[in-house]
């Protein structure tokens, strides 16, 4: 069985073995660098208030304080914070996938007038950092044009900005373009409407890329801090990224903060670990066969 980037024949040569073991060593070091912050956050939550400030690395605590995680779960009211975050993130994921899929289908299959210019406009927005339009977005949400509605303090003030993603539309449009035209035309000849084609043909063929985008969207929205900080001012409705900062900064030591922070990063971490095989499958199935 071939070893990925090297065939069995190449692996038998001295240069091939040297290249292989060198690559493995590099990947091992890289994996340790990536995993270190997670391990450090976890072990820091097991230390007492004085040990965490001891000089040196001291990655492994001398006397693990497992009760820190139980106290952090109770004192920080993690259940309520998780509920707020899941409501915000779930609504954002559903709306983003819905809007992006519909927009990509329209641009790919319906061929609207000026569709190329629309895609260029989407591409331009990808080059603009999000912080640049944060103030205009805040002003817009404070007074929605025409409707004159104020969405500050409402989850809709987060869901509406979350629902539009130029990256997701661009990726889905590119994927939809690769669906064989013969399938679409056959459905139209059989009398299928555009909505039926979208729901019964395009979406089933695009399950892999939709799953990948949904996972990436979940992880992206879960870690968002600045926009929820500006929009949701009610402490009882703030997501975990915002409320945890205020609670930890005002009342608890660094060790409790690290324990709570590690608990807060578990959902996206578990999603990435559990669904990684689906990510691999989706990437492998990225090409649509005719």
Whichever domain contains 235, its CATH number is 1.10.3720.10
pLDDT band with cut points at 50, 70 and 90 for residue 51: confident
Domain boundary among 52, 71, 90: 71
Q: How many domains does the chain have?
A: 2
The residue out of 71, 88, 108 marking a domain boundary is 71
100 and 17 both lie in a single domain: no
What was the pLDDT predicted at 97? 95
Is residue 1 helix, strand or coil? coil
15 and 156 in a single domain? The answer is no
Length of the chain: 290
Bridge partners (DSSP) of residue 3 are 6
**Between residues 4 and 110, which one has the greater pLDDT?**
110
User: For residue 20, is it within any domain?
Assistant: yes
Q: State how far the Cα of 86 lies from the Cα of 92, in Å rounded to an integer.
A: 10
Is 138 in the same domain as 248? yes
**pLDDT, mean of residues 189-200:** 90
Domain identity same for 58 and 79:
no
Q: Is 206 exposed, middle or buried (0-12, 13-18, 19+ CB in 10 A)?
A: buried
Residues 280 and 196 reside in one and the same domain: yes
Could you tell me which residue, 30 or 61, shows the higher pLDDT?
30
The reply to whether 195 and 160 lie within a common domain is yes
pLDDT at 289 over 50: no
Residues 44 and 93 in one domain: no
Q: Decide which of 288 and 185 is more confident.
A: 185
pLDDT band at 123 (very low <50, low <70, confident <90, very high): confident
Q: What are phi and psi of 259, to 5 degrees?
A: -65, -45
pLDDT value at residue 45: 87
Q: Say yes or no: 25 and 109 in one domain.
A: no
pLDDT in tens, 74-99: 888 899 999 999 999 999 999 999 99
Task: Let me know if residue 129 belongs to a domain.
Answer: yes
Q: Report the distance separating Cα 82 and Cα 271, nearest Å.
A: 15
Average pLDDT over residues 183-189: 89
Q: How far apart, in whole angstroms, are the C-alpha atoms of residue 258 and residue 270?
A: 18
Tell me if 280 is assigned to some domain. yes
φ and ψ of 61, to 5 deg: -70, 145
Tell me which DSSP letter residue 265 carries: T
Domain edge (last residue) among 27, 55, 71: 71
Let me know if residue 1 belongs to a domain. Answer: no
The runs of H, that is alpha helices, within the chain are: 8-11, 14-44, 67-75, 78-105, 115-126, 134-142, 156-163, 166-177, 181-189, 194-197, 203-205, 207-222, 226-231, 240-251, 254-264, 266-274, 276-284
| 92/67 same-domain check | no
Q: Which domain holds residue 228?
A: 74-284
pLDDT of amino acid 1? 47
From residue 171, how far is each of 32, 105, 128, 203 by CA, in Å? Answer: 31, 11, 18, 14
Structural domain includes residue 26: yes
Residues 118 and 229 both lie in one domain: yes
Whether the predicted pLDDT of 284 surpasses 70: no
Residue 6 — pLDDT band, cuts 50, 70, 90? low
Quick one: 51 and 80 in the same domain?
no
Domain for residue 290, yes or no?
no
% of the chain with per-residue pLDDT over 90: 36
Quick check: is 2 in a domain? no
Residue 246 contacts residue 234 (beta carbons within 8 Å)? no
Tell whether 125 is covered by a domain. yes
Average pLDDT over residues 56-70: 84
84 and 18, same structural domain? no
Q: What are the angstrom distances between the C-alpha of 261 and each of 34, 195, 216, 238?
A: 17, 44, 20, 16
Whether 261 shows a pLDDT value over 80: the answer reads yes
């Amino acid at each position: 069985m071939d070893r990925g980037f090297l065939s069995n024949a190449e692996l038998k040569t001295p240069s091939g073995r040297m290249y292989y073991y060198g690559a493995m060593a590099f990947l091992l070091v890289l994996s340790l660098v990536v995993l270190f912050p997670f391990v450090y956050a976890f072990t820091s939550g097991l230390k007492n208030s004085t040990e965490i400030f001891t000089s040196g690395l001291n990655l492994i605590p001398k006397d693990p304080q497992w009760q820190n995680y139980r106290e952090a779960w109770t004192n920080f009211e993690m259940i309520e914070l998780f509920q707020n975050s899941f409501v915000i993130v779930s609504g954002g994921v559903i709306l983003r996938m819905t809007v992006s899929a519909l927009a990509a289908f329209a641009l790919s299959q319906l061929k609207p007038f000026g569709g190329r210019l629309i895609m260029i406009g989407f591409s331009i927005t990808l080059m603009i950092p999000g912080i640049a339009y944060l103030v205009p977005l805040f002003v817009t949400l404070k007074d929605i044009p025409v409707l004159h509605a104020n969405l500050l303090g409402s989850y809709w003030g987060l869901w509406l900005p979350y629902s539009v993603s130029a990256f997701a539309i661009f990726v889905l449009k590119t994927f939809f373009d690769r669906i064989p035209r013969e399938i679409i035309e056959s459905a139209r000849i059989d009398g299928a409407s555009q909505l039926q084609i979208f729901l019964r043909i395009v979406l089933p063929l695009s399950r892999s890329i939709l799953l990948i985008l949904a996972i990436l969207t979940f992880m992206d929205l879960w870690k968002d801090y600045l926009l929820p900080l500006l929009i949701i001012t009610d402490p009882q409705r703030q997501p975990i990224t915002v409320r945890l900062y205020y609670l930890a900064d005002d009342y608890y030591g660094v060790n409790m903060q690290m324990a709570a922070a590690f608990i807060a990063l578990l959902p996206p971490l578990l999603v990435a670990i559990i669904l990684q095989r689906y990510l691999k499958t989706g990437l492998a199935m990225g090409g649509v066969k005719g």
